[in-house]
Structure 1
Amino acid sequence: MKAVYTERHRSHDPQFFLVRGVVKRTTEQPERADRLLAGLKAGKHQLIEPVAFGQGPRLRVHSPEYLNFLAEAWEAWSALGDAGPEMIANMHPVRNAATYPTHIVGRLGWHTVDTACPIGPGTWAGACAASDVAATAAQMLMDGEDAAYALCRPPGHHAYRDLAGGFCFLNNSAIATAHLRQKHERVAILDVDVHHGNGTQGIFYERSDVLTVSIHADPTAFYPFVWGFAHERGAGAGLGANLNIPLAIGTRDDGYLQALDVAAKAIRNFAPGALVIALGLDASEHDPLAGLAVTTEGFRRIGAAIARMGLPTVFVQEGGYLSDILGANLTAVLGGFEAAR
């Protein structure tokens, strides 16, 4: 399996992270990519540079106003003269009878759902690079590859059509999916990150051409807290095209694989032409966020189960934070997929 990667992700190096009222350095650090690269090297995956697609793939998913905000944000913030080293909103209007703001502080609040996505001088460039990585991997499937891996950083599955959140700015998994829709009438997304893919759900919630499935830690006790419940099944034309499978905190391999069996059945019934895996490795027993407890062998079994779905597959990297086992877990899930294919 070929892997798409660019060093341009390093321009995004956030520092701020608010955890239960305590400011810490974020766990979404450039070092994550180094550890993932080590996992790719161990698996002998060939690295491919992404194609620069421009705004086209991003505009299929995100609003023009949101993309303009991200592109202009740092310059406007810097022009204030008394602003901090990162953009962090101090207000969120939640859009109750609200008017779209023109001031950068207002726009920042309008376009961010939480404080976990600080914007720095290189954030826009890094986010665009990640979206190109995702689109390139999707294009590889369209050009005949059976599977491809996209090492996207920053991640994307918490980003809505016009909202950043949860370390995410551009929804790379959604961008890959929309790109594949140029060829396939139906595409399925399977999100195996420990956190619910709330942004991806929001983007496709009223669409019948994309099935969104998310296996994640119980949202009553884990981010994003207010999305990711089993009763959220889609709306309008998309009713029935969203499946959430929340798991008890600490769920181990066998419980996770049982949930994956349920997801696989839903995907088979949907009969998509291609599959996008929002690959979170933060379900690991060693991940610092400690939501689920999947072992390295468990990740190998997850990869094998995905392979048995028999679909052209793009793996888009989502979470998985700084632990010594991060690279080995990536090697395991891709290796399990290849061995079962």
Structure 2
Amino acid sequence: MRLFFDPRQLAHAPTQELHNGAFVPYAETPARAEAFCAQLHAIESPTDHQDTPILRVHDAGYIEYLKTAHARWVAAGRQGDVLGYVWPVVGRRNLNLTRIDALAGRYSMDSSTPLTADSWTSAYWSTQCALSALDAVLAGDSVAVGLCRPPGHHAGADYLGGYCFINQAAVAAQAARDAGIERVAILDIDYHHGNGTQDIFWDRGDVFYGSVHADPATDFPFYWGHADERGEGEGEGATLNFPLPQGTTLTAFRAAQAKALDAIARFAPGLLIVSFGADTFAGDPIANFAIQTHDYAILASDIAAVGLPTVIVTEGGYAVDALGDNLASFLSGF
């Protein structure tokens, strides 16, 4: 099993985020990636695929914002990290605004995702890891892993949020389509719903998105991930959500995942992308499921049994001391 990581993914290191009405220490720390790597061996450096596959998924204006926002923030006399404070509501007017404060709201969905001078670099190399894992699978490997940090599944085509800047799963899925894979499936098993991934493929029938996650009636991101969201147009039925209550253990999670895998099998994709989040762990500080470390091998074995070429990209997981063990357990199931 080939694994990909780049040290530049550690550079993104905000000190704090706005969460539940107060500034708190930033949860998505570089220590998460260090925990991944500490438990794994023979990690490879990714190939640089440049911006082209990213721009196949993300809006060009948004990518330019990621590249330049911090410098513009400093030039405007601001200190610290870029963080929006005003957001356009539904029905927003996409005016040609240039003030950095307006752009910070235009291109974000929350106030928990500060953008630093290094965010673009780290997100860029995180995405190259996912693309390099895809290369390995397209070349014949049965499974390969992008150790992606920052994560990606909350990032939409033109917005950041939920600690995410570039949607690695979506970029890899589109790159697979561009490489000739006719149908791609994404299975998202992070505690939080991957709203960005759902948005990107909402009206497309060539990419299936199935997610098992905490009920958005009680958990972030609230406005996406409800069971009645199934896509529209050509994508109707190609989105499938399984929201679960807080406190969910392996039995219920595994049953929901089995339903998602059955739907994926019926979709008959040529490739599976797994957005794996270890924030389903019982000890995660910002989540409320009760999955145990040894459970991850069981979940992964169920996924492997479907028999599809698989690219794994890492998403959330904030119990840093257990994160390496949880990821190693999951990978052992393959």
TM-score by length of 2: 0.97
Q: For residues 1-25 of structure 1, what are the alpha-carbon distances to aligned partners after superposition, in whole Å with 9 as ceiling and x for unaligned?
A: 1100000011100122222112101
Counterpart position of 1:271 = 268
- The secondary structure found in structure 2 opposite 1:189 is strand
How far off its partner does 1:72 sit? 1.3
Which segments of 5 or more consecutive residues in structure 2 lack a partner in the other structure?
none
In structure 2, what is the Cα distance between the partners aligned to 1:102 and 1:324? Answer: 42
Instruction: Spell out, residue by residue over 1:101-150, the C-alpha distance to the aligned partner (whole angstroms, 9 max, x if none).
Output: 11111111100010111011111111111111111111111111111011
Deviation at 1:324, TM superposition (A): 2.2
Q: Deviation per CA, 1:19-74: give whole Å up to 9, x if none.
A: 21121011100000111112324xxxx21111111111101110111111111111
> Amino acid of the residue matched to residue 24 of structure 1?
V
Aligned to 1:220: 217
Q: Which residue of 2 aligns with 1:55?
A: 51
Counterpart of 1:40 in 2: which secondary structure?
A: coil
Q: CA offsets per residue over residues 266-318 of structure 1, 9 Å max, x none?
A: 00000000000001010001111132111112111011011001000010010
SS in 2 for 1:260: helix
8 Å CA contact 1:100, 1:107 repeated in 2: no
The answer to whether the aligner puts 1:16 opposite 2:16 as a matched pair is yes
The correspondence for 2:125, drawn from 123, 129, 132, is 129
Q: Following TM superposition, by how much is the alpha carbon of 1:159 offset from its aligned partner in structure 2, in angstroms?
A: 0.2
Residue equivalent to 1:232: 229
Residue of structure 2 in register with 1:196 after alignment: 193
Out of 271-280 and 7-16, give the one that drifted further. Answer: 7-16
The percent identity for this pair of structures is 40
Runs of 4+ in 1 over 4 A off after TM superposition: none
Tell me what 1:33 maps to.
Answer: 33
Q: Normalised by the size of structure 1, how large is the TM-score? A: 0.95
State how far apart, in whole Å, the 1-side matches of 2:274 and 2:120 are.
24
Aligned mate of 1:74, from 70, 73, 79? 70
Q: Which residue of 2 aligns with 1:64?
A: 60
Indicate which of 55, 74, 79 corresponds to 1:84.
79
Distance between the aligned counterparts of 2:313 and 2:93, measured in 1?
36
Alignment equivalent of 1:242, drawn from 239, 243, 247: 239
Deviation at 1:332, TM superposition (A): 0.6
Cα offset, 1:98, TM superposition: 4.1
Match of 1:101 in 2: 97
| Residues in 2 aligned to 1:159 and 1:290: alpha-carbon distance in whole angstroms | 19
SS in structure 2 opposite 1:296?
Answer: coil
Describe the SS at the equivalent of 1:324. helix
